[in-house]
Chains A and B, each alone.
Chain A
Amino acid sequence: MDKSKHLESVIRTHQITKEQQLLDKHIQKKNEVKEALEEKYGSNIYPPFNSGSYAKNTAINTKFDFDLVSPFKRNAFGSNGTLEQMYNDVYDFLYDKYKNEAEVKKQKVSIGLEFYADNEGDVIKIDVVPGREFNLDQYKEDENLNLYVYYRYGNFNSGSERIKTNINAQINNIKDRATKEKDSIRKIIRLLKIWKANKGNYPTKSFFLELITIKTFDNNEITGSLWEKLKTVLEYIRDNVTNENFKLIDPGNSSNDLADTLTTYEKQQLSSDMKNMLERISENEENLKTYFPENEKFKEKESVKNGYGANSGIPIPPPKLNFG
């Protein structure tokens, strides 16, 4: 089995452009929500922007994450307004506006809008991330934001904590790299996100996987085939994530350590999952397909081209076969 060939197919069948219609619906809905926020908050808000994987070019088509960052002015909720007030005000507005067409829920640092399935069965999900500039008019210069932590987020406690970050710096963290390295990094991030999506409700954030992939590239000589590069990243996670001194610095704020978004137990789980995955693939490389499956929906269409396969020569049955 050519492991890299399989991984390329996994990426190809998960390309977001294969779901063009669903992508268009997300973009349209994101624009609607953006306009609604701008209309409601007027001069108190800077233009909201998309910061999710689509913006970073690491999206996969089985789990769209459209994060609409909404940067508010320092005094948008009064000169003594709190981040909690900002968060709740945005929640109340979105709830009132969309309660009949979507489930509106409070999430870790965002407000989730999950629109009910349309006539074609498509579900659109947009996460609105309210943030506030540090000082009045400072956002235009430094793009720094304070986010409100609604509920416990790894080692960040709910309510009492705020996260300072610069989301544009996060987006540019990949964009600013050399083209060849950037392509490899994006491929590996997509593969890790496919692995994570396949595991259901897994605690590790996609952003964590992005940063640890980049960190692996920063700390290792990463060469070889796609599989060899992925293997190096999996080994790096296995060997480092549980180390006491392990840090994952947010490119948007050097005092944010993304390693804190996972508890000690969750880090152990992540390391052990990488260990098991590597061992199972080493035992039988076909197991790679279990951890990194192709998207069946698009694999089917590609397969139709192929037909039954046969090599030259007269096929000979295996000497012994045992059926149950």
Chain B
Amino acid sequence: MKLKAEKIGLSLEIEDQLLNNMTENGKIYYPNEFGGFLFGYYTNNNKHLIITDSVLPIKFKSSRYNFERSTEGIEDQLYKFHRESPSKFYIGEWHTHPDSNAIASIADILAMRSIISTPNSCIKNPVLLIIGDSKSKVKFSFYVLYNYNLYKYE
């Protein structure tokens, strides 16, 4: 799947297989939310993002309307991906909205903003994937934080 945030001239791509894996992982915890970390790398003068992997949190809390993950155990993964070729790194987050739409909530926007204000996060434009999972269909929405605002990829 290839998507663009036309307004800011950024794009991304992700394999369908990876999206399916995340969706299946989310279904395990239905009707509660679930999510994880996204990894990938930038190409084309940093205008294009290729999302290659998802890492699931070891510890998390979740309910029907909330998902809070910790970073326990993530450090090893960061270095493992960094040593690969091409070198991959943490680029954002994903989580599910069970029985709901794939639209970013206020909490989601605030969480994305807190990424860029965290020392050492190093990324200026974190990406957010929301999987809106209802019984009849699954919807994916990708967002990127740019100049403190969320832009949706189409």
Contact = CB atoms under 8 A, between A and B. Distances in A.
A323 to B, nearest CB: 5
Contacts of A311: 122-124
Given A309-B46, A314-B79, A324 B105 contact: yes
A310 B70 contact: no
A314 B121 CA distance: 8
A322 interface: yes
A311 B75 CA distance: 18
A200 interface: no
Contacts of A224: none
A289 B147 CA distance: 10
Interface stretch (A38-46, A178-186, A300-308): A300-308
B95 A323 contact: yes
B46 A318 contact: no
B93 A323 contact: yes
B138 interface: no
A307 B46 contact: yes
A199 interface: no
Nearest to A9: B147
A308 B46 contact: yes
B111 A321 contact: yes
B42 A308 contact: yes
Contacts of A318: 71, 114-115, 118, 121
Secondary structure class of chain B's binding surface, majority of residues:
mixed
B78 interface: yes
A321 B7 CA distance: 27
A322 B93 CA distance: 11
Contacts of B121: 315-318
Contacts of A307: 9-10, 42, 44-47
A40 B131 CA distance: 67
B8 A323 contact: no
Nearest to A297: B7
A300 B10 CA distance: 11
A323 B68 contact: yes
A315 B90 contact: yes
Contacts of B91: 315
B125 A308 contact: yes
B27 interface: no
Contacts of B148: 286, 289
A236 B45 CA distance: 46
B111 A322 contact: yes
Interface residues of B, number: 48
A246 to B, nearest CB: 36
A321 B8 contact: no
Nearest to A6: B147
Contacts of B42: 307-308, 310
Contact of B124 (A310, A313, A321, A322): A310
B122 A315 contact: yes
A304 B93 CA distance: 23
A317 B122 contact: no
Question: Quick one: which of A306, A307, A308 has the most chain B CB within 10 A?
Answer: A308
A296 interface: yes
B120 interface: yes
A324 B120 contact: no
Given A316-B120, A317-B121, A324 B66 contact: yes
Contacts of B144: 308
Interface string B50-70: 000000000000000111111
Contacts of B99: none
Contacts of A308: 10, 42, 46-47, 49, 123-125, 144
B8, B69, B107: residue with the most chain A Cβ atoms closer than 10 Å: B8
A58 to B, nearest CB: 26
Interface of B: 7-10, 33, 35, 37, 42, 44-47, 49, 65-71, 74-75, 78-79, 82, 89-91, 93, 95, 105-108, 111, 114-115, 118, 120-125, 144, 146-148
27 contacts: A299-B147, A303-B8, A303-B146, A304-B8, A307-B10, A308-B10, A308-B47, A309-B123, A309-B124, A309-B125, A310-B122, A310-B123, A312-B122, A313-B120, A314-B78, A314-B90, A315-B78, A315-B121, A315-B123, A316-B71, A316-B74, A316-B90, A318-B118, A323-B35, A323-B95, A324-B105, A324-B107
A-B interface, 3 closest residue pairs, ranked by CB to CB distance from nearest: A309-B124, A324-B107, A304-B9
